[in-house]
Structure 1
Amino acid sequence: MRLLRPIAFAAFAALTGSAVAANCEPRNPDGVAAGDELIAWIKNSVHEFIPIEDDWSEGFDRAFSTSLVATFNATKHSFDTLRGAFGAFHPRIVERYAGTFTHGCFSAIGVPHATNRGGNVYLTGWEGGYIGGEVNNVYNASQGSFGVIEEQEDCSLKIVEWRESSNLATTG
């Protein structure tokens, strides 16, 4: 077996390398800090795309790759079908909780990729509000998510895989 010479290997790597542009900000070399950066990014993204505010779809488009592979509970989704599902959730959440719906995070883990600012994220949390806006009629649900985040050619981060489970839908 013939080994590639360093120059030939470098040229081969340049032609077949990752889709990430060479001018993107490098990943933080401190793995813990890089994980914390992923956590901050995903928490902000979730806050922007959770379908409780009227502008949730703008956050959805910023956060998710159009090549998204996703599940929500037992359903499988693409970018378009998850966006459609969230679009259906939005008016139901707004009506059911009369603007009191909110969410939070119990725990978050960010595991950075070795070579760029992407990585894997794991979240557990809660979501809920006052049914009908009545403070004596509160409902809270549990939620868990896993995401794969990739750095894009334009140096932005996008979620390419999203797995979410929630027991919010278990009430009438």
Structure 2
Amino acid sequence: MRLFQSITLAALALTGSAAAADCEPRNPDGIAAGDELIAWIQEAVHEFIPIEDTWSEGFDRAFSTNLVATFNATKLNYETLRGAFEAFHPRIVERYAGTFAHGYFSAVGVPHANDRGGNVYLTGWEGGYIGGDVNNVYNATQGSFGVIEQQEDCSLKIVEWRESSNLATSG
């Protein structure tokens, strides 16, 4: 029985390695690999945050369809998070009249040992001028945690996303 288990585990390991064999290897320098992960997530967030009309394409590129997510206390999956962002987009565009922006206070990337994925932690700010009025600014704080996995096609996808923001408290 042990021989069968050993052979099965070895075959599974080879199969997993073969699927990722054509993918670019993870940078062996852990700090540089973390920096690459941070650059990837910051670009992904910029593309999927629902402030531009193209946010949905960025959302589809960034998130895995088997996503597990939370936004504040709400538990979501790929479809329900996408639906929430669809509802947020027109509200943000209308409320901030095209002035909504976001940025980061800190970003930490902890790469996986064997591929280009990993865990990311972001803290930042978001907000803009209500009604486009430069005398009526509203800023909020935000924090996110994500698990990024390398896919069989070598792309990176977010499979877990935890986000908290006090933007909703602006009324």
TM-score (norm: length of structure 1): 0.93
- Deviation at residue 132 of structure 1 after TM alignment: 0.4
Taking structure 1 as reference, are residues 113 and 133 closer, same or farther at Cα in structure 2, changes over 3 Å only?
A: same
Task: Report the residue type matching 2:168 in the other structure.
Answer: A
Unaligned runs of 5+ in 2: none
Q: Matched residues in 2 for 1:19 and 1:60: separation?
A: 28
Whichever residue aligns with residue 14 of structure 1, its letter is: L
1:14-37 CA distances to partner (integer Å, 9 max, x unpaired)? 24x369522101000000000000
- Correspondence 1:38 to 2:37: yes
Structure 2 residue aligned with 1:148 = 147
Question: Identity of paired residues, percent?
Answer: 82
SS of the residue corresponding to residue 170 of structure 1 reads helix
Q: Shift of residue 12 of structure 1? A: 4.4
CA distance in structure 2 between the partners assigned to 1:20 and 1:126 by the alignment: 39
Structure 1 unpaired stretches of 5+: none
For the pair 1:139 / 2:138, whether they are aligned, the reply is yes
1:20 and 1:152 in contact (8 A); partners too: no
| TM-score, normalised with respect to structure 2 | 0.94
Pairs aligned (count): 171
Quote the Cα distance in structure 1 between the aligned partners of 2:68 and 2:18.
18
The answer to whether the aligner puts 1:121 opposite 2:125 as a matched pair is: no
Letter of the aligned partner of 2:103 in structure 1?
G
Tell me which protein shows more helix as a share of its residues: 2
Structure 1 CA distance for aligned equivalents of residues 43 and 84 of structure 2: 21
Conserved? CA contact 1:20–1:151, under 8 Å: no
8 Å contact 1:149–1:158 — kept in the other structure?
A: yes
Deviation at residue 82 of structure 1 after TM alignment: 0.1
Rate the CA distance shift 1:148–1:105 in 2: closer, same or farther, 3 A: same
**How well do the aligned residues superpose, as a CA RMSD in angstroms?**
2.0
Structure 2 partner of 1:61: 60
| One-letter identity of the residue aligned with 1:76 | K
Instruction: Look up the match of 2:71.
Output: 72
